[in-house]
Amino acid sequence: MLVFGNVQASTGSDWPSQPLRWVVPYPPGGSTDMLARILAKELEQRLSQPVVVENKAGAGGNIGTQHVVSSKPDGYTLVMGNIGPIAINPSLYKNLSYSPKQDLAPVSLLMEVPNLLVANPGLPVKTVTELIDYAKKQNTSLNFATPGTGTSLHLAGELFASQAGIAMTQIPYKGSSPGLTDTMGGQVPVMFDNMPSALPLVETGKLRAIAVTSKERSPSLPDVPTIAESGLPGYQVTGWFGVLVPKATPPAVISRLDAEFSAILKDPAIQEKIRNMGGIIPETGPKAFEDFIDEETEKWANLVKSSNITIQ
């Protein structure tokens, strides 16, 4: 056994011998939750142990992430990390109670996905240019829904407004689902959201896809242009999702988890589900994921500073 303070952690040789908890720091129904539940079923079959997905939402993903940081580093508590609580929030929140770099160990980057700018079908716009013109003609700021203040979707909207030269006000929700519901209902005209949760609503006509936020068009929506090609060159925001564990988790456990996720992501059936969510599967291990997080953290820190966005 290895001893960390008052916490004893397995070296990994007898792991796993009990159920795992996979914390999703957002409400059910969003992209982060959807991916975790797809992969959890496969992981529990490979480990012969239950993998329970727990939703611990709040504070832009910080509450659930902090819960995992405070958990025993024994490999039985994972967090589904994404761009918000892992790469953006360290520079956005002045009093963040954890440091992803110091308190969490990356395991696997699971999926990358472009975001979608979607609108209520009743809004008289179909393109980025029309949306910008519509916003400029309004007497008030154009509202846009987000899954929460400080999320990548919030910053995606702020970046869009800045580059387009229009006034936009975010309407924060506790996750994607309620924001999408109000956008469909017309309470909010537009929303930036991850493709996995927004794509089915676009396909059924409940929302209109205006543009994708990635550098290139998405294979899932090849006819929908990028924001960059629609008049705002250089605009690029993408989402990503990965699994992390408390920092002192034994290396053998991290290696085992990475190997299991790598095998799961090679399954054609899982690949098809991820493609249907609008995602792509990156090829990364713990070190590559760590380097990726470092790059993303620096990128978003620069944007937060230049945009003068802070959260207490």
Q: What pLDDT, in 10s, does the model give residues 160-205? A: 998 999 999 999 998 889 999 999 999 999 999 988 889 999 999 9
pLDDT of the residue at 312? 64
pLDDT of the residue at 171? 95
135, 116, 265, 106: which is closest to 203 by C-alpha? 116
Cβ atoms of 277 and 113 closer than 8 Å: yes
Alpha-helix residue ranges (DSSP H) falling in 95-194: 100-103, 128-137, 152-164, 176-185
Q: Which residues, 6 or more positions from 234, have their beta carbon under 8 angstroms from its beta carbon?
A: 163, 228
Predicted structure pTM score:
0.77
pLDDT for 134 beyond 80: yes
Q: Does domain 114-230 have CATH number 3.40.190.10?
A: yes
The boundaries of every CATH 3.40.190.150 domain in the chain are 2-113+239-307
What is the average per-residue pLDDT within 42-71? 96
Average pLDDT of the chain is 91
The span from the CA of 193 to the CA of 124, in Å, is 20
| Residue 120 Cα to chain centre, angstroms | 23
Number of neighbouring beta carbons within 10 Å of residue 200: 15
pLDDT-above-90 percentage for the chain = 70
Select the more confidently predicted residue: 247 or 238.
247
Select the more confidently predicted residue: 143 or 84.
143
The span from the CA of 8 to the CA of 6, in Å, is 7
> What pLDDT, in 10s, does the model give residues 259-290?
999 999 999 999 999 988 888 898 789 999 99
Two structure tokens written together for 86 = 């892992």
The span from the CA of 289 to the CA of 112, in Å, is 12
Cβ atoms of 146 and 161 closer than 8 Å: no
**Side-chain half-sphere exposure of 42, counting CA atoms within 13 A:** 20
Second-level CATH architecture of 2-113+239-307: 3-Layer(aba) Sandwich (3.40)
The boundaries of every CATH 3.40.190.10 domain in the chain are 114-230
